Structure 1
Amino acid sequence: MKGILVPSKPMNFNIPLLRPIRILLFPFSLVYALVVKVRNWCFDKKIFTSTSFNLPIICVGNLAVGGTGKSPMVELLIRMLKDRYAIAVLSRGYKRKTRGYALAGESTTALDIGDEPMQFHSKFPDVAVAVGEERIVAIPQLLHDRPGTRAIILDDAFQHRAVKAGLNVLLTDYSNLFTRDWWLPSGDLRDAPSSYRRADIIVVTKCPEAMDEDQRRAIEIEIDPKPHQQIFFSTISYGTPYHITRQTAGVVNEEVEVLLVTGIANPAPLKRWLNEHSRTYYELAYSDHHIFTIDDLQAMIRRFTGITAGKKLILTTEKDAVRLIKFKQELEDWPIYVLPISPGFLFGEEDRFANVITTFINEFK
């Protein structure tokens, strides 16, 4: 429960507790599935139209709600492309306090454009980052503001078929493959499993580092990629924690107790990492994209103060950090650190992935 300070290592409040509730929601899933299938059929039959643009557009998305690693993948693409091409990123800007199109600038905050776009803007200030609920409207505005743009990365737009991307990168979580999932709200799928056929690249994310060829082959058989599709496997690579305001490096090891503060969809991989790297950890969990208040900050400080260990720190994610940084002055003197992550490709295939991306841009007509 939020507000109770208890060690998280021995506890396991897992999804099976929610399954009876989800079973009750099964009829609503059938209605949802019907609506989505009719919508997709209308796009397939060109009753609803998809618009193409005369530049390379790379879409990063998934079929399920929750964290499949879209933001780290977008960041990987930015790092891969920004020194070679003038690129831009376009997101919806989920849970921002504004509406319509907006291009990030020097005074932009997470409330203006959302936490994930703000994360991109903070880490890559020279890259154009924009938001807009209607991508088909936002893309021309973005190109008007940045006419030299060579390619656009669409963040979380696989199911938004009004824009036809030239290259679709579909992510699916190793622990919750779309092939084993079910429709919302009794499952996590927001799009039809068969929609995976629209993807050009499929990335199975959050795989165990020790994944072997037999496991890889079993998943490839289960997903059944089509002849035009390439499939990759990635794991989570954790970087060095850095202080939220001073950017100085921090250390998490078996002597340190950690207060984990998150407002993300799937903190499970991060908890597993803490199980392996910290003495113990305590959790203060909020809903995905939670907008932190001064009361939340005070609760965090109280819980941290209640930890009696000599070596302790507060740890949060980069996505949460952009929503906490508005309390910069209050956080300056507290040991609150941010843990960066990035996708690490297994089986030595990052160069092959990069080649697919750059070839698409270079050969775009």
Structure 2
Amino acid sequence: MKKWVFRLLAGIFGAITRLRNTWYDRGILSSTHVTKPFTLVVGNLAVGGTGKSPLVTYLISHWKFSGTFGILSRGYGRKSSGFRWVDVDSNASTVGDEPLAYKRQFADLPVAVCENRLKGIEEMKDLDAIILDDAFQHRALKADLNLVCTTFSKPFFSDKLLPLGRLRESTDGIKRAHALIVNRCPDVLSEAQKEPFLQFDLPVFFTKVGYGVPVGNSAKNISTWHLFAGIADPLPFFKAAKKFGDILNQETYADHYAFQQADYQYWEHVAANLHPSVGILTTHKDYVRMEEHVGSYPALQSRLFYLPMQMEFLDQETEFWAWLTSLVPLNLKK
């Protein structure tokens, strides 16, 4: 019975999103292209967990073009609304965890949030380029470039529409993309493993995840960990954490989970009773969300660490930047 209901809801959802896309494609609903700044969307077809944030971080870190650029996000999970600039000392509850994480990593970079992307772009019009995080379904904007993310283990073309699966729209949406970024790949891929991703007549680039070492007060003497994560796909994080010692337990929260007082009290109790060789490890996004209140919980603050991660190309990094350079406007080329 439950599966039948999900199929019905997925059918209704699919009909609504197809109609919406058709209206945009035919001009019944207007889609605006801005000539300045240059707009690059990093998005996906599925709900969360496709590697958008690592790709945005990679683009910021390796940006090869002239002029000024910044990031615009809707600030998912924030309790505020409208346009806001993100400051280093902003709170995740006000601007969202991902925009705040970007700002903490790149303090001099303009980062803003706005659920209305066109309004946000207007506020940031003095920049030469904007990376729009998670705006592929924001069709009121016709971006200059759309980079669509998927994962090697859960490709969008093997998924189903919500709520049967994780798709926000049908796989036909890939036709609006300019390139497909396949994230979280194994270190080595055969041509046969790559082939299913090459069926869409798009440039395709394959990447993997690299993890750093735990960041916190001092992880030198810690050999055992409690783990928790409130992200869409925590399994890669849990797997990577095993490299840094034994795992006592691992707990999962919803994606972008807003930690409650009871959660802080629970982890404070855990931290207060830890052996000196035991720490608490989470993801960078979760760490950023907790920073607003963790100062009130001294034991937790002293034992809490996060595991940094980064995106790496398997073997096409030079080709990716050559492709991107060929498509940016002349005023951005050095």
| TM-score (normalizing by structure 1) | 0.84
Unaligned runs of 5+ in 2: none
Structure 1 runs of 4+ with >6 Å offset: none
Name the amino acid aligned to 1:39. R
Q: 1:251 to 1:52 in 2, by over 3 A?
A: farther
- CA distance in structure 1 between the partners assigned to 2:245 and 2:327 by the alignment: 42
Farther off after superposition, 98-107 or 190-199:
98-107
Deviations 1:88-114 (A, max 9, x none): 100001111111111113542212111
Give how far 1:293 is off: 3.0
Name the amino acid aligned to 1:140. E
Identity of aligned residues (%): 33
2:268 is the alignment partner of 1:286: no
Secondary structure of 1:265's aligned partner: coil
Give how far 1:211 is off: 2.5
RMSD between aligned residues: 2.3
* Corresponding residue number in structure 1 for 2:145: 167
Farther off after superposition, 205-214 or 163-172:
205-214
Q: How does 1:208-227 map to 2 (within 5 A)?
A: 208-217=186-195, 219-221=196-198, 224-226=199-201
Unaligned runs of 5+ in 1: 1-19
Farther off after superposition, 318-327 or 102-111:
102-111
| TM-score (normalizing by structure 2) | 0.91
Name the amino acid aligned to 1:102. R
* Corresponding residue number in structure 2 for 1:13: none
Q: How does 1:1-365 map to 2 (within 5 A)?
A: 21-22=2-3, 24-55=5-36, 56-81=38-63, 84-143=66-125, 147=126, 149-217=127-195, 219-221=196-198, 224-226=199-201, 229-243=202-216, 246=217, 250=219, 256-304=223-271, 311-326=277-292, 327-328=294-295, 330-331=297-298, 334-346=302-314, 348-363=315-330
**Contact 1:61–1:70, Cα closer than 8 Å, also in 2:** yes
- CA distance in structure 2 between the partners assigned to 1:359 and 1:342 by the alignment: 25
Q: 1:102 to 1:281 in 2, by over 3 A?
A: same
Secondary structure of 2:124's aligned partner: helix
Q: 1:328 to 1:350 in 2, by over 3 A?
A: farther
Give how far 1:22 is off: 4.8
- CA distance in structure 2 between the partners assigned to 1:321 and 1:234 by the alignment: 25
Name the amino acid aligned to 1:220. F
Secondary structure of 2:42's aligned partner: strand
Name the amino acid aligned to 2:279. L
- CA distance in structure 1 between the partners assigned to 2:24 and 2:192 by the alignment: 37
**Contact 2:268–2:297, Cα closer than 8 Å, also in 1:** no
Name the amino acid aligned to 2:156. F
**Contact 1:23–1:186, Cα closer than 8 Å, also in 2:** no
- CA distance in structure 1 between the partners assigned to 2:25 and 2:206 by the alignment: 29
**Contact 1:262–1:320, Cα closer than 8 Å, also in 2:** yes
Q: 1:324 to 1:152 in 2, by over 3 A?
A: same
Secondary structure of 1:361's aligned partner: coil
* Corresponding residue number in structure 2 for 1:15: none
**Contact 1:103–1:142, Cα closer than 8 Å, also in 2:** no
- CA distance in structure 2 between the partners assigned to 1:273 and 1:104 by the alignment: 30
Give how far 1:130 is off: 0.6
Deviations 1:22-63 (A, max 9, x none): 554111000000000000000111111110111311000000
Name the amino acid aligned to 2:14. A
Give how far 1:82 is off: 7.4
**Contact 1:258–1:281, Cα closer than 8 Å, also in 2:** yes
**Contact 1:241–1:251, Cα closer than 8 Å, also in 2:** no
Q: 1:202 to 1:49 in 2, by over 3 A?
A: same
Secondary structure of 1:172's aligned partner: strand
- CA distance in structure 2 between the partners assigned to 1:171 and 1:281 by the alignment: 33
Q: 1:335 to 1:84 in 2, by over 3 A?
A: farther
